[in-house]
Amino acid sequence: MNLRRLWAVARKEAIHIRRDPRSLILAIGIPMLMIVLFGYALTLDVDRVPFAVWDQSGTPQSRDLVARFTASRYFSLHAAVDNPEAIERAIDRREILLGVVIDSRFAEDIEAGRPGRVQAMVDGSDGNTAAIVLGYTGAVAQAHDRAIALEQARRRGVDVPDTPVDLRARVWFNADLESKNFIIPGLIAVIMGLIAALLTSLTVAREWERGTMEQLISTPVRPAELILGKLVPYFVIGMVDVLVAVGMAVYVFDVPLRGSVTLLLAMAALFIVGTLSQGILISTLARAQLLASQLAMVSTFLPAFLLSGFMFSIANMPAPVQVVTHIVPARYFVSLVKGIYLRGVGLETMWFDALLLAAFAAIVAGLAIVKFKKRLA
The string of pLDDT tens digits covering residues 38-84 is 888 777 777 889 999 999 988 888 899 899 999 888 899 998 998 88
Which DSSP state fits 176? T
CA distance 360 to 28: 25
Mind listing the domains of the chain with CATH numbers? 3-43+178-371 (no CATH), 49-155 (3.40.1710.10)
Q: Give yes or no for a contact between 206 and 280, defined as CB atoms under 8 angstroms apart.
A: no
Question: What was the pLDDT predicted at 162?
Answer: 61
Question: What was the pLDDT predicted at 13?
Answer: 82
Which DSSP state fits 74? T
Q: 3-state DSSP call for residue 51?
A: strand
Q: 3-state DSSP call for residue 144?
A: helix
Q: Give yes or no for a contact between 205 and 48, defined as CB atoms under 8 angstroms apart.
A: no
Q: 3-state DSSP call for residue 79?
A: strand
The residue count for the chain: 377
Q: What is the pLDDT averaged over residues 101-118?
A: 86
Phi, psi of 158 (to 5 degrees): -90, 140
Question: Which residues are CB-neighbours of 118 under 8 A, at least 6 positions away?
Answer: 65, 100, 101, 102, 103, 106, 141
In order of 66, 188, 365, the CA distances from 361 in angstroms are 58, 18, 6
pLDDT band at 270 (very low <50, low <70, confident <90, very high): very high
Q: Give yes or no for a contact between 31 and 192, defined as CB atoms under 8 angstroms apart.
A: yes
**Window from 14-18, 208-212, 281-285 with minimum mean pLDDT:** 208-212
Q: Which of 266, 245, 311 is nearest to 28 (CA)?
A: 245
Q: Give yes or no for a contact between 62 and 107, defined as CB atoms under 8 angstroms apart.
A: yes
Distance from the first to the final alpha carbon of the chain: 25
**Window from 93-102, 202-211, 361-370 with minimum mean pLDDT:** 202-211
Q: What is the pLDDT averaged over residues 169-188?
A: 80
Q: What is the pLDDT averaged over residues 194-200?
A: 81
In the predicted structure, residue 94 carries a pLDDT above the cut 80: yes
Q: What is the pLDDT averaged over residues 349-353?
A: 90
Question: Which residues are CB-neighbours of 140 under 8 A, at least 6 positions away?
Answer: 65, 68, 69, 72, 75
Distance of CA 343 to the CA centre of its chain: 16
Q: What is the pTM of this model?
A: 0.77
Per the rule left: phi > 0, alpha: psi between -120 and 50, beta: everything else, 211 is left
What is 90-134 written as a DSSP string?
Answer: HHHTTS-SEEEEE-TTHHHHHHTTSPPPEEEEE--SSHHHHHHHH
Q: Give yes or no for a contact between 222 and 372, defined as CB atoms under 8 angstroms apart.
A: no
113-138 pLDDT, tens digit each = 788 889 999 988 888 888 888 888 98
Q: Which of 38, 320, 242, 321 is nearest to 312 (CA)?
A: 321
Q: Give yes or no for a contact between 338 and 181, defined as CB atoms under 8 angstroms apart.
A: no
